[in-house]
Amino acid sequence: MESEMRSIGEMARDSGLGVSALRFYDGAGVLVPAWVDPVSGYRWYGPEQLEESRVLAGLRRAGMPLADIRLVLAGWSSADTDLVRKLLRAHLRRLELGLSDARSEFSTLRALLECRENPMTMFRTATVRLAVPAAELAAALDAVRFAASTDPELPMLGGVLFDIEGEALRVVATDRYRMAVAQAGTTGYDGPRVQVIVPSPLADAMRALLSDDGAVEFTVDGDRVALETRDRQAAGQCLDHDFPDYRRLVHLPAGRRALVDVPALRQALETGPVRASEARERDGMSCELSVLKLAADGMVSVCEDGDDEQDHVAVNREYLLHALAAGARDQLILEFGASTAPLAIRRADTEDTFSMLMPVRL
């Protein structure tokens, strides 16, 4: 029988509930472990509890109140399907009413937005031409491309923002869960600030041209953008949307910094413990989380199951691996704020290239 029991970490992995959630539901008397080790206090769950835990995870994702979850699980275990169906119908009705109210509120907000000036309306001029060092622009695109969104519901995020101001070109990409910013120098333009969103496929085509040394010419002409080398060109229409004010998002409170060895951290992430996220991605799949902790000696490590201190930060493991690769350095700085604040990944040799990952609640 013991071989069929699941540890709390295994139950978290198989059910979609986090370790902290399982502890909470044990304390609330909703899903009590089949056995608790009297010496270590470690929780173990019986095979028959897996189905209940998955039902519980689904009800939690649907936002059902704890009192109703308790009744549903009681009806589920006693095969009282009539009670379960009534509770599900009642909660669905509450969700439908809440959605109707939310639609009304969003309609009001959209009307307010239309009546005020958008502070981030895209800055455009008739024609802009500037020169950019090919190597700098290639490095900048490599540093941010991984963070561009693929969500068709958010077309304004489906590309790379080119933000030209003074002699600096900042490239920015975000999908809401992560954001990356990099900078390249420019010459030949000293006009007003210009912002355009280059669609991801066009940004990739531009990156493919940046294999030579020297400078390339970047042009904005109305709603068209182009990148020209000595004998090749990548051109197309920019996205007709406004990009979020990324500058408001990068001013984070001062946090704890750690200089990390990137190969070692990658190894720890790829081989270390992971947890299943309760937050579902758009395609319905759960992501794997790595929980990071920063020790007093400045060492960053990946936490084992059950190690859930308040100041630990849980992030999407795949996203963090992408950010480390995009950092393109053997050493990077990880900046930790509160567990609810973004994790910043910075290069040690410049403040102009960095990425940020939103934490995930355990």
Residue 117 — very low, low, confident or very high, per pLDDT cuts 50/70/90?
very low
Q: Any idea which residue has 């951290």 for tokens?
A: 265
Q: Report d(CA 319, CA 289) in Å as an integer.
A: 10
Residue 329 sits in a domain whose CATH number is 3.10.150.10
Tell me, what CATH number does 62's domain have? 1.10.1660.10
Mean pLDDT of the chain: 86
121 inside domain: no
| In a shared domain, residues 258 and 305 | yes
Measured CA to CA, the distance from residue 234 to residue 245 in angstroms comes to 27
| Sign of the torsion angle spanned by Cα atoms 296, 298, 303, 308 | positive
pLDDT at 171: 97
User: What digits encode the pLDDT tens for the residues 15-39?
Assistant: 888 888 898 888 888 899 999 988 8
> Do 295 and 261 fall within a single domain?
yes
pLDDT tens per residue, range 62-82: 988 888 888 888 888 777 788
Q: Are residues 132 and 239 in the same domain?
A: yes
Domain end: 223, 245, 267, which one? 245
Looking at the structure, tell me whether residues 230 and 176 fall in a common domain: yes
Residues 80 and 153 in one domain: no
82-107 pLDDT per residue, tens:
888 888 999 998 888 888 888 777 87
Q: What is the pLDDT of residue 255?
A: 74
- Residue 28 to residue 48: CA distance in whole angstroms: 19
What is the pairing mode between strands 168-174 and 354-357? Answer: unpaired
CB 317 within 8 A of CB 290: yes
Does 246 score more than 90 pLDDT? no
Q: Tell me what percent of the chain is helix, strand and coil, each rounded to the nearest 5.
A: 35, 30, 35
Query: Do 155 and 202 belong together in one domain?
Result: yes
Q: Are residues 327 and 270 in the same domain?
A: yes
Q: What is the DSSP letter of 189?
A: -
- 160 lies in some domain: yes
Domain co-membership, 240 together with 325: no
Q: Do residues 268 and 233 share a domain? A: no
Same-domain check for residues 193 and 221: yes
Per-residue tokens: 75: 């009806």
Indicate the angle between helix axes 81-114 and 66-77, nearest 10 degrees. 150
Do the domain assignments include residue 274? Answer: yes
Query: What sign does the dihedral 37-27-342-16 (CA atoms) show?
Result: positive
Plot region of 263 (φ>0 → left; ψ -120 to 50 → alpha; else → beta): alpha
DSSP secondary structure of 92-138: HHHHHHHHHHHHHHHHHHHHHHHTS--TTPPP--SEEEEEEEHHHHH
User: Is the model's pTM score more than 0.75?
Assistant: no
Q: Are residues 162 and 185 in the same domain?
A: yes
How many domains does the chain contain in total? 3
Does residue 215 lie within any of the structural domains?
Answer: yes
- C-alpha to C-alpha distances, 11 to 20, 45, 134, 273, 275, nearest whole angstrom: 12, 7, 51, 14, 10
338-362 per-position pLDDT tens digit: 777 889 999 988 888 999 999 887 6
Q: How confident is the model at residue 282 (pLDDT cuts 50, 70, 90)?
A: very low
- Whether 259 shows a pLDDT value over 50: the answer reads yes
Q: Are 132 and 241 in a shared domain?
A: yes
108 falls within a domain: no
Domain range enclosing 318? 252-357
Q: Domain end: 245, 269, 285, which one?
A: 245
Give the helix ranges, DSSP H, for 272-348. Answer: 317-327
